[in-house]
Chains A and B, each alone.
Chain A
Amino acid sequence: MKYIDEFRSGELAQKLATKIQQAIEPGRHYNLMEFCGGHTHAIFRYGVQELMPESVHFIHGPGCPVCVLPTSRIDQAIHLLQQEDVILCSYGDLLRVPASDRNSLLKAKATGADVRMVYSTQDALKIATDNPQREVVFFAIGFETTTPPTAVAIQQAAAQGLKNFSVFCNHVLTPAAIQNILESPEVREIGTVSIDGFFGPSHVSAIIGSRPYEFFAEEFQRPVVIAGFEPLDVMQSALMLIRQLNEGRFEVENEYHRVVSREGNLKAQALVAEVFELRPLFEWRGLGQVPYSALRIKKPFSEFDTEERFTLPTIVSKEIRGCECPAILRGAKRPSDCKLFGTVCTPDNPMGSCMVSSEGACAAYWSYGRFRQAT
């Protein structure tokens, strides 16, 4: 396929692998965190690790929207479904994410709740238009990439005067999460987790640009290379990170310049700013409460805010005992370090959120079988 296959060429991959091999310094280890699940997926799907020298380690970060969503938010959605006659629309992966008490949206659906999988916010709007007598709630999740479509949907709902549509907003922000990881005791003080550099998000950066990473590249002295989601993008970016580390540089470089600019998509940013504002505090699975790391709907649009429209109880998340998702999301543990991994927790029966999405570290480990080859 034109414009895609070029970024998956085996011939070019071999050339890059040779360059990386030549670039690494003997005895030095390179611990590179890919923040995004999209990168994790590409690394496993194409077998990128096998083309890397042994001293280059990929650490899988928390950039998988369903993985970082705390259980309590799904519990709240299930509560809403039980209490009110609502149609809940959500992206597919979310349906399988474990909630408290071994529940999930998929199981709630099986017991009669009206949960519908949609591919876009437009589908949710259409469902609201087609069902004027029913309350339609769109369960919005995702990083900066999925935020603009949600903003558009809210504006459209306002323009159309829809009275039965609201958004359960769970949009989160990438830079705040990266900063939180770098400030965590495991990275800063204890030193159990060594992260030498970051692959910067590709799609997220298309919206926010490369500038937001400049602060922590300098502050925390870690190089960032914004990388596309194709396997050759990942390899090229690894080479760029290795070179920065060898040369003692801590810069934000942009491998994905075919899409990402320093300023990002200003129109999308303005749109988001019209509809959303920062939440002072939001819970992330794995990272806990992170200040100013998520968005909520602004007051002028509050009639489209599920949290304003309905009374949602405060629910404290209960994690499954033994589930290492929180540590895995921080990069502190690997999926194979978890006792549940591959025993009671598999993609068919996920106990933790990292086992649900193909972008989750555990699901990727399981599906693409690196751990099996290692054992």
Chain B
Amino acid sequence: MTIQNNRYPFQLDLTNGKIDMNHGSGGRAMAQLVDELFVRHFDNELLRQANDQASFEISAGRMSISTDGHVISPLFFPGGDIGSLSVHGTLNDVSMSGAKPLYLSAGFILEEGYPLADLDRIIRSMAAASKKAGVPVVTGDTKVVERGKGDGVFITTTAIGLIPEGVNISGDRAQPGDLILISGTLGDHGVAILSSRENLEFETTIESDSAALHGLIADLVAAVPEIHCLRDPTRGGLATTLNELARQSHIGMRIREADLPIQPAVHAACELLGLDPLYVANEGKLVCIVAAEHADRVLTTMQQHPNGKEAAIIGRVVEDEMGFVQMETTLGGSRVIDWLTGEQLPRIC
């Protein structure tokens, strides 16, 4: 009698195969999915140990952790897909503390019937994003839900990172007199997603700005360790992020419409669809608040990085106990920029 070397008699059918309930059962089918898809593409030393957790040494200091669930529709869009987005989004959340991200974990909720070919595409894209960022996926989980109880693929990722000594970046540190910077153009992600919705027939060359920003942040923190706040204006757009920071820091803000970087095509799409680019999501931009004397240095550092070429100073922090964010319009009037109400676009990240 010979013991079969090959653990699985047949390879996963990545051309025509579909997710079925067995892939979440904890049995051999699940092990095969994990081996032939996840471990194969995410391949790294910690994952290869095949434990239920990943264990590693850390140096002393402050750590940062963040979790983000991704339930986007559609799963593929110009400039990215749920796989790359689930890496970028969470790395960005962790690195907005100034941290250098170290490891990722990923939880997958797959819907019965989802094509393995599409899942393969998503995992490859996720693995490529993780490799490019230099942050490995070291542990994960897979569940399958019955057809109709999910929407293809949901991915939840968690990242942890290490904060360099002397860095204290937090949403409650904005002070009157500080200047507000944005690292690039607004609304690209939301418009890219919208353009690929099946019920919206408009063609655009706009691609999502989905990108990991920890490289840019490392440069910023090295240039100006005294940065007060960093945040990525994702859901709810710039308007919502500024309101969050104003509330946390008990200050007000004044921004200038004329200084906001917006691509003409995004501006046009928003005009057509009745959206306000201030409220449209970004996935590769950050807001930075810094003391006025450091603003030029931050701006130059941003502009020298590929993820910050179109950076701009867009406004300043003022005393305001009501915490209003106001904008001077291009027309010369002013208005309050309020929180986003309802959803401009459902499920964009």
Contacts and interface: CB of A to CB of B under 8 A. Distances in A.
A48 B338 contact: no
A369 B333 contact: no
A373 B268 CA distance: 31
Nearest to A106: B342
A325 B342 CA distance: 21
B338 A367 contact: yes
A48 B330 CA distance: 11
Interface of B is mostly: loop
Contacts of B324: 369, 372
A123 B199 contact: yes
B331 A348 contact: no
A131 interface: no
B223 interface: no
Nearest to B274: A358
Interface of A is mostly: helix
Interface string A1-44: 10011001110011001000000000000000000000000001
Interface in B150-187: none
Nearest to B264: A1
A363 B276 CA distance: 15
B58 interface: no
A10 B330 contact: yes
Given A348-B341, A369-B324, A372-B322, A231 B331 contact: yes
A245 interface: no
A231 B333 CA distance: 10
B330 A348 contact: no
Residues of B in contact with A, size category: 20 to 34
Interface residues of A, number: 35
Interface string B317-339: 00000101010011111111010
A46 B199 contact: no
B333 A4 contact: no
A49 interface: yes
B335 A369 contact: yes
A368 interface: yes
Contacts of B258: 10
A8 B331 contact: yes
Nearest to B344: A92
B200 interface: yes
Contacts of A218: none
Nearest to B322: A372
Candidate in B268, B271, B335 with the most chain A CB atoms within 10 angstroms: B335
A248 interface: no
Contacts of B200: 119
Nearest to B342: A96
Interface in A332-375: 346-348, 358, 363, 366-369, 372-373
A163 interface: no
Contacts of B336: 367-369, 372-373
Contact of B331 (A47, A96, A119, A373): A47
A50 B336 CA distance: 13
B26 to A, nearest CB: 32
B332 A51 contact: yes
Contacts of A49: 333
Contacts of B271: 1, 4
B338 A9 contact: no
Contacts, number: 77
Interface string B173-214: 000000000000000000000000001100000000000000
B342 A347 contact: yes
Candidate in B264, B268, B273, B331 with the most chain A CB atoms within 10 angstroms: B331
Interface in B250-288: 258, 264, 267-268, 271, 273-274
Given A348-B342, A369-B338, A372-B324, A51 B199 contact: no
A45 interface: yes
A14 B333 CA distance: 10
A14 B332 CA distance: 8
A118 interface: yes
B342 A366 contact: no
A10 B331 CA distance: 4
A200 B122 CA distance: 52
Given A1-B271, A372-B324, A46 B342 contact: no
A367 B332 contact: no
Given A119-B200, A372-B322, A51 B338 contact: no
A56 to B, nearest CB: 14
A173 B267 CA distance: 32
Nearest to B332: A10
Nearest to B270: A1
A187 B330 CA distance: 36
Contacts of A358: 274
B322 A50 contact: no
B199 A45 contact: no
A8 B258 CA distance: 11
B330 A1 contact: no
B342 A48 contact: no
B237 to A, nearest CB: 14
Given A1-B271, A4-B271, A123-B199, A51 B342 contact: no
Given A1-B264, A1-B271, A45 B329 contact: yes
Given A46-B329, A47-B329, A119-B273, 19 more contacts: A1-B264, A1-B267, A1-B268, A5-B330, A8-B329, A9-B331, A47-B332, A48-B331, A50-B334, A118-B199, A119-B199, A123-B199, A231-B331, A347-B341, A348-B341, A368-B336, A369-B324, A369-B338, A372-B322
16 contacts: A1-B268, A4-B271, A10-B330, A44-B335, A46-B329, A46-B330, A46-B333, A47-B331, A47-B332, A49-B333, A50-B332, A50-B333, A51-B331, A51-B332, A347-B342, A368-B335
